[in-house]
């Protein structure tokens, strides 16, 4: 039996396409909005269905589909208007819109090693002419008091890349300290922005097979994620 909670979570993705998300992020009618959380669902979602803290975080956030496996499950559960929005496409779209319309945005970055997040900071500043207010590693247990205070700095967009489910749980459980108009959990985005990980060719992305490209590139790290994620997806599909 598929849980009602799972159906509710997947139902929240209906109609959440690239244009809709961008419209919400650049919503100038709500200048004082704080901590609107956008979280992507991909194969790792199926590995954490027993994590109540993770599921609660998803229930409190705006969700979109970042992966064909989630799209298949959503369709099976009757979700309509399904659209796939890779976060690795969403971030460049944000930068492009910011540049096109001359809208200055302030960014905060949390995730990965300190060297990775600092490299990402330089990319945003040099390539996208973005103002980065703070860039902190993704290990809160190692933060100094000064680093901890930085997350309360006012920004327009806070990217949090700690991996699933840590990033979603961290965001929701620290909302009282965060001062961002928009919070976007972003997984491994920083590695793609810095070139440490290379995206699949466009034709592979068009076929929604980028997961296979990533698996081939890094089978040791990703095999279990995709193997057990697929098994849990099949359980969902067969249980209805």
pLDDT digits (tens, 9 = 90+) for 49-93: 999 999 999 999 999 999 999 999 999 999 999 999 999 999 999
pLDDT at 29: 63
E strands, the chain, are 36-41, 62-65, 106-111, 131-136, 155-161, 180-185
Across 40-44, average pLDDT? 97
237: left (phi over 0), alpha (psi -120 to 50) or beta: alpha
The number of folded domains in the chain is 1
- Please state whether the peptide bond connecting residue 165 to the residue before it is cis, i.e. omega within 30 degrees of 0: yes
What are the angstrom distances between the C-alpha of 38 and each of 25, 85, 185, 227?
9, 12, 7, 26
Residue 41, pLDDT above cutoff 80: yes
Its domain, for residue 234, covers 4-239
Give CA–CA dist 107/25, Å, rounded: 13
pLDDT at 101: 81
Neighbours of 227 (CB within 10 A): 11
Residue 234, pLDDT above cutoff 60: yes
pLDDT at 69: 96
Across 22-37, average pLDDT? 83
159 backbone dihedrals φ, ψ, rounded to 5°: -90, 130
Residue 94, pLDDT above cutoff 90: yes
Place of tokens 């970055």: 109
pLDDT tens digits for 114-147?
Answer: 999 999 999 999 999 999 999 999 999 999 999 9
pLDDT tens digits for 174-228?
Answer: 999 999 999 999 999 999 999 999 999 999 999 999 999 999 999 999 999 999 9
Place of tokens 């929240």: 12
Residue 1, pLDDT above cutoff 80: no
């Amino acid at each position: 039996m598929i849980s009602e909670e799972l159906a509710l979570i997947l139902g929240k993705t209906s109609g959440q396409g690239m244009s809709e998300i961008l419209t919400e992020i650049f919503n100038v009618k709500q200048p004082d909005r704080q901590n609107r959380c956008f979280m992507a669902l991909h194969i790792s979602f199926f590995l954490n269905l027993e994590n109540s803290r993770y599921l609660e975080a998803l229930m409190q956030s705006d969700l979109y589909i970042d992966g064909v496996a989630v799209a298949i499950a959503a369709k099976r559960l009757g979700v309509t208007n399904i659209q796939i929005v890779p976060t690795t496409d969403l971030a460049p779209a944000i930068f492009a819109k910011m540049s096109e319309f001359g809208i200055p945005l302030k960014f905060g970055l949390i995730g990965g090693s300190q060297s990775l997040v600092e490299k990402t900071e330089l990319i945003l500043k040099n390539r996208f002419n973005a103002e980065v207010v703070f860039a902190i590693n993704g290990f809160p247990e190692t933060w100094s008091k000064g680093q901890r205070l930085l997350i309360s700095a006012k920004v327009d967009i806070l990217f949090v890349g700690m991996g699933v489910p840590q990033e979603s749980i961290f965001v929701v459980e620290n909302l009282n300290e965060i001062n961002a108009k928009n919070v976007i959990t972003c997984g491994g985005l920083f590695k793609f922005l810095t070139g440490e990980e290379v995206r699949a060719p466009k034709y592979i992305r068009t076929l929604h097979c980028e997961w296979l490209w990533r698996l081939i590139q890094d089978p040791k790290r990703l095999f279990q994620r995709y193997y057990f994620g697929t098994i849990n997806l099949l359980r969902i599909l067969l249980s209805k």
